[in-house]
Structure 1
Amino acid sequence: MAGLIRREDIDEVRSRTDIREIVEGYVTLKSAGIGSFKGLCPFHDERSPSFHVRPQMGTYHCFGCGESGDVISFVMQMDHTSFTETVEKLAARISYELHYEQGSGISKEEVGRRQRLLDAHKVAAEFFQKNLYTPAAQEAQKFLGGRGFDPRSTQQFGVGYAPRGWDNLLKYMRAKGFTEEELEATGMFSRGNRGLYDRFRGRLMWPIRGIAGETIGFGARKLFEDDQGPKYLNTPETQLYKKSQVLYGLDLAKRNIAKKRQIVVVEGYTDVMAAHLAGVDTAVATCGTAFGSGHIKVVRRLISDDGTGGEIIFTFDGDAAGQKAALSAFQDDQKFVAQTFVAVAKDGMDPCDLRLNRGDGAVRSLIASRRPLFEFALKATLKNYDMNTLEGRIRGMRAVAPILAGIKDRTLRPAYIREVSGWLGIETDEVLRAVNYAQENPQQSHRDKAKAEQEAKDAVERAEQARAEQEANPFEIPDMRDPVARMEREALEVVVQVPHYLSNAQWQELAKVQYRYRMHSGIAEGIIGAAAEVVPAPGTHWVNSVRSQAPEPVHALLAELTVSPIPARTEEQLARYVHDILNRLFEQQINRQKSNLLMNLQRLDPTADAEEFQDIQRSLLELELRRRSIMEGQD
């Protein structure tokens, strides 16, 4: 044994190592004041950053989970290495020579296990790269050239070639001094009756690197027909390589990911290469496994997923497998605070094929054309149901209700509910009730597809139950997080407090409004009833008249509306505010009517239902003209 590392050397390594630089290899840090930085904690899941680093002190601390320590303890926890291995790794990083209490130094056989594995992978990567442009690697060269990759680009990504044969790499590694035990631990070799042999033979090789840039495994694609193995063969799980936590290309993309707060997840090694070469420098790929929770933790730390921005963009092939992968990714959507998107080329081409056939600009355009993942999931889900039958449409409604309920942007949700209503030919209120039910019962969204028929029956029963519940308690408290609820309330406030500001045209429009919330329609019922009996004028007489005409359950809300502050200080500001808020209410009402007509229009055949089709188009035109007239103040 070489003995213990001298205490002075440990202190020297600790003091010379920049803890901020080390931590930023795993976590995106932002300034948190003079001499302090913060980010999302790598030791527990959180949405707001509570992990702080003080470079001058050489320490870190998480105020969320309580983890704290110095640069050595941080690396030990992140890389799962022993104290000695960690110090040796950090010392090698700064080219510092360690000394030991016993013995004069440390031999190769006594180097930490992890460092030896890293050394082995580095040597193997160099071996594969040297073999790429040899006569024996013509198939590999042909494959790369056929996909638009020249020697310069292959060198950038460290692409190599594993020669055919059973022991080419084995002999090379043995000659470099690696032991049988070390070689087997790398995962680059398999064991048979005659001992070890090369796992990768006659294959194109991609080095898979950790976030700090060290090679930790390989991905290999077969090139020859007589290769009986799978198309892609990756390093098995080892001390270094954990496929559920590794993203190919992350070492090249991490700084741009942190800077742009964007990550593009593609499907394969060549897609990562094509994306980067085309200018999409935030592209990464999983290594032979689905994008899962381990990857999510890595991504969230890098984009600083704290609710202040960031985007995750998935690209998938347009085939059935690609759609399945997209829907699988959607299941993890809620684990991100940032917005998730999907980018799929119209003809289903992946980034590599797109670059090859249409150039770099097409790859950039593909990413720029991204659309919300939930929109893609909506359409992909509805394809599984028969839209020509009522049962199919109801089943489709129930299937997409959890997706609609999961839309993070609450201002978008009503618009998509109306959109889906049009696709299905089902009233918007019915879809809304299904969404509300899904939101209250999220476990229903994970049903097994094998129970689809039962699901259809349950969907109908739940819709009926929701309708019964609403009838039993019609005066629900409006959700003020809903922009429509806020707008309806603000409009009713001005009519209750300053009814004399409304013109005759506005009173006529007000009588046509259908409110989303029964509580608000109850107030409106009192207002319209009172206006038919008394002259609308501010004061006790007007409010009492409204109260007498309104249902008893809304009387408390009416009292609240009479004292709610209106955001206006002058008569001129008040007049403008009344005009604007009422016009917004009227515009929303007209837009809802247009949405319902468009829903009906989508279900008609322009040839077979020509007369009805034209009637609806005329009604749509009239509504649009009316909307413009109101907004221009000409009514």
Structure 2
Amino acid sequence: MAGRIRDEDIALVRERTAIDDVISETVTLRSAGGGNLKGLCPFHDEKSPSFNVSPARNVWYCFGCGAGGDAIKFLMDAEHLSFVESVERLAARSGIQLRYVENEPGSGPARPRAPHGQKQRLVAAHAAAVEFYRGQLTTAGARPAREFLAQRGFDRAAAERYGCGFAPDAWDLLTKHLRQQGFTHDELVTAGLSRPSRSGSLIDRFRRRLLWPIRDLAGDVIGFGARRLFDDDDGPKYLNTPETPIYKKSHVLYGVDQAKREIAKQGRVVVVEGYTDVMACHLAGVSTAVATCGTSFGGDHIGVLRRLLLDTDDVAGEIIFTFDGDAAGQKAALRAFEDDQRFVGRTFIAVSPDGMDPCDLRLAKGDLAVRDLVARREPLVDFALRHVTDRYDLDTVDGRVEAMRRAAPLVAMIKDREKREGYGRRLAEELLGMEIDTVQRAVRAAAGDSRAAPAPPADRRPPAVAVVDSPQSRIEREALKLALQYPALAGPMFDAVEAGDYRHPVHAAVRAAVADAGGTSSAAAGAVWIEKVRDACTDLGAQALVGELAVEPLRLDGEPDPRYVAIQLAGLQRGSVNGRIQELKSKLQRINPVNNKDEYFALFGELLSLEQHARALNEQAAGG
């Protein structure tokens, strides 16, 4: 039985991992002040970014859904990896050789071990398949594949850049190759690289086809797209990897691994229809192009792009669809208009006057024509309205009325009220030649019908911590933030204030967890310390609060110093001391000093001592 990873190695992975580098492969991050970064949460839908990352402490937390943790936890949640798989992935990034300890006592010293886990194995199988298929592209039997690429303007360098390959005219050549490399029957079937034949033996899924490797955001190959080359091939024109544990076609965008940085930088993405269109756009200088893989553009794709674009109420990304000029392309554009309302950003469509896709356009007119196609984009709303109204004879009353009835619901779909009014006027004046009030009434009626749409899902944030907005609660949070974010600075001063001085029960639980984790005096800042405190929490509310406080900014401009720590802790104790003073005064009023002389004077002495302590705390809290 394989052993666990040594704790020292896990701690080293946490310390050496730059969490912002890991997360930025999935989420576009922008500065949020105080050294923190902010983006759209990949774990729930949101319009305003509430996903916070603290590079200084290597932790993240979403104030919208309550998820949080370190880089290991992010990979577990975002890529559905196990804990071990996540640690191994990050260790490989940082060049760390992991050591494993056998579960049985006396089994010998820790030893290095190769990575394991289903996802790792499936990714490794695809990496081996890529190299196999690339090698096959240079063989004599792959001549039709090379000619196909050349006829579309792609030379050998372009084929190598995109990892193009060829599935040979053999039933099980890849399968045998991968089996020799140690991959099992079940792994190859699960990966979608092989499939059982009618006789029961294992054969290759792809045969006699040109292949494009499909990569995820991190750049790992997770599937293939295969193009038919021979007339006697009775399969579909394009054949894709089936759904697997690592390949979900509704989430995958071809070319996103190469385009993601430019998408984030430019705030723009160009959505094309095929693999060759992506290649043509990139080579022509449109470096933000991506394509869906064997499925129509949908809601999950929108989620991926919104996070890369940081498409929010405040920052509008630009989405440009390029569809063929034929009927199918126009239908796809109108379908995209319906999805457009899920984007906060601006959405456009670019259709070549000749009806050519980007690949054909580049081949016929050159790189500049592809760039011009994108530059001459028009708002998708305009395209949709024109497409609808052009179907009617607008020289007749009947035609104008029918066009209005069909176009009004499109205008009503626009969420922005001011834009809706503006497009209503444009529909009336420029497209239909009708009275504005008549058209606006039709739009408002259609908008009224649309209000019956289902309500959005409820906030996923767990009801872990009841937020109490009081001076005492705020100062307790500040003290805990100092302990989590700046443990070396908080040090003995923080450790001297016990959990009993925290009035909020969950705050007290976090303070107790800090003590159980060894106290701030011996802690090193960063994800290792924060995870140690989180693990020491005895309830879910405290665990959630640790993640939140680890990235929440201090109530201070600039870096804290020992004086700031002293002021906060003095203010925290002052609240506890004042509460105890009130309790003593109330109790003294209820005691008869004649009958209970000893108890009375004992409480009175404690009261005097506490009042003296309170005066000292007041001076300290005031910065004196």
**Structure-2-length-normalised TM-score:** 0.69
Q: Decide whether the 8 Å contact of 2:341 with 2:414 is kept in 1.
A: no
Q: 1:101 to 1:445 in 2, by over 3 A?
A: closer
Pair 1:281 & 2:287 matched: yes
Q: Decide whether the 8 Å contact of 1:129 with 1:160 is kept in 2.
A: yes
Pair 1:314 & 2:321 matched: yes
Pair 1:174 & 2:179 matched: yes
CA distance in 1 between counterparts of 2:298 and 2:334 reads 13
Shift of 1:96: 1.4
Q: Decide whether the 8 Å contact of 2:164 with 2:213 is kept in 1.
A: yes
CA distance in 1 between counterparts of 2:276 and 2:381 reads 27
CA distance in 2 between counterparts of 1:56 and 1:221 reads 47
In the other structure, the counterpart of 1:302 is 308
In the other structure, the counterpart of 1:234 is 240
Give 5+ residue unaligned stretches, structure 2.
455-624
CA distance in 2 between counterparts of 1:239 and 1:384 reads 45
How well do the aligned residues superpose, as a CA RMSD in angstroms?
1.9
Cα distance per residue 1:107-147 (max 9 Å; x no partner): 66x71111111110001011111111221111001100000
CA distance in 1 between counterparts of 2:74 and 2:405 reads 47
Pair 1:224 & 2:230 matched: yes
Letter in 2 for 1:135: A
In the other structure, the counterpart of 1:215 is 221
Q: Decide whether the 8 Å contact of 1:402 with 1:445 is kept in 2.
A: no
In the other structure, the counterpart of 1:76 is 76
CA distance in 1 between counterparts of 2:9 and 2:304 reads 32
Cα distance per residue 1:527-564 (max 9 Å; x no partner): xxxxxxxxxxxxxxxxxxxxxxxxxxxxxxxxxxxxxx
Shift of 1:397: 0.6
Match of 2:437 among 429, 444, 450: 429
Q: Secondary structure of the residue that 1:143 maps to in structure 2?
A: helix
In the other structure, the counterpart of 2:157 is 152
More displaced, 188-197 or 98-107? 98-107
Pair 1:112 & 2:120 matched: no
CA distance in 1 between counterparts of 2:10 and 2:113 reads 19
Report matched runs for 1:37-436 at 5 Å. Answer: 37-102=37-102, 105=111, 111-192=116-197, 193-307=199-313, 308-387=315-394, 389-407=396-414, 413-421=420-428, 422-436=430-444
Letter in 2 for 1:70: D
Q: Secondary structure of the residue that 1:305 maps to in structure 2?
A: coil
CA distance in 1 between counterparts of 2:266 and 2:242 reads 33
Cα distance per residue 1:59-114 (max 9 Å; x no partner): 11111111111111110000111111111221122221111121654766x71111
Q: Secondary structure of the residue that 1:32 maps to in structure 2?
A: strand
Q: Decide whether the 8 Å contact of 1:158 with 1:207 is kept in 2.
A: yes
Q: Secondary structure of the residue that 1:230 maps to in structure 2?
A: coil
Shift of 1:161: 0.9
Q: Decide whether the 8 Å contact of 1:300 with 1:336 is kept in 2.
A: yes
Q: Decide whether the 8 Å contact of 2:4 with 2:100 is kept in 1.
A: yes
Of structures 1 and 2, the one with the larger relative CO (CA 8 A, separation 6+) is 2
Q: 1:413 to 1:2 in 2, by over 3 A?
A: closer
Q: Secondary structure of the residue that 2:101 maps to in structure 1?
A: coil
Letter in 2 for 1:436: R
Cα distance per residue 1:13-65 (max 9 Å; x no partner): 11111111001011000111132111111111111111110011111111111
Q: Decide whether the 8 Å contact of 2:101 with 2:111 is kept in 1.
A: no
Q: Secondary structure of the residue that 1:43 maps to in structure 2?
A: coil
In the other structure, the counterpart of 1:442 is 450
CA distance in 1 between counterparts of 2:381 and 2:451 reads 18
Cα distance per residue 1:549-593 (max 9 Å; x no partner): xxxxxxxxxxxxxxxxxxxxxxxxxxxxxxxxxxxxxxxxxxxxx
Cα distance per residue 1:232-265 (max 9 Å; x no partner): 0000011110111110000000000000010000
Q: Secondary structure of the residue that 1:158 maps to in structure 2?
A: coil
Letter in 2 for 1:228: D
In the other structure, the counterpart of 1:455 is none
Q: Secondary structure of the residue that 1:100 maps to in structure 2?
A: strand
Shift of 1:387: 3.7
Letter in 2 for 1:433: R
Q: Aligned residues: percent identity? A: 56
Q: Secondary structure of the residue that 1:233 maps to in structure 2?
A: strand
Q: Decide whether the 8 Å contact of 2:318 with 2:348 is kept in 1.
A: yes
Q: Decide whether the 8 Å contact of 1:2 with 1:106 is kept in 2.
A: no
Letter in 2 for 1:195: S
Q: 1:149 to 1:35 in 2, by over 3 A?
A: same
Q: Decide whether the 8 Å contact of 1:140 with 1:203 is kept in 2.
A: yes
Q: Decide whether the 8 Å contact of 2:97 with 2:112 is kept in 1.
A: no
CA distance in 1 between counterparts of 2:50 and 2:258 reads 27
CA distance in 2 between counterparts of 1:105 and 1:282 reads 44
Q: 1:444 to 1:88 in 2, by over 3 A?
A: closer
Q: How many residues align?
A: 445
CA distance in 2 between counterparts of 1:93 and 1:17 reads 8
Q: Decide whether the 8 Å contact of 2:389 with 2:431 is kept in 1.
A: no
Cα distance per residue 1:490-549 (max 9 Å; x no partner): xxxxxxxxxxxxxxxxxxxxxxxxxxxxxxxxxxxxxxxxxxxxxxxxxxxxxxxxxxxx
Shift of 1:407: 4.0
Shift of 1:423: 2.8
Shift of 1:402: 2.3
CA distance in 2 between counterparts of 1:419 and 1:366 reads 25
Cα distance per residue 1:468-505 (max 9 Å; x no partner): xxxxxxxxxxxxxxxxxxxxxxxxxxxxxxxxxxxxxx
Q: Decide whether the 8 Å contact of 1:314 with 1:326 is kept in 2.
A: yes
In the other structure, the counterpart of 1:531 is none
CA distance in 2 between counterparts of 1:439 and 1:409 reads 12
Shift of 1:404: 2.0
CA distance in 2 between counterparts of 1:194 and 1:239 reads 23
CA distance in 1 between counterparts of 2:186 and 2:403 reads 56
CA distance in 2 between counterparts of 1:73 and 1:105 reads 25
CA distance in 1 between counterparts of 2:394 and 2:57 reads 64
Q: Secondary structure of the residue that 2:407 maps to in structure 1?
A: helix
Pair 1:6 & 2:6 matched: yes
Q: Secondary structure of the residue that 1:138 maps to in structure 2?
A: helix
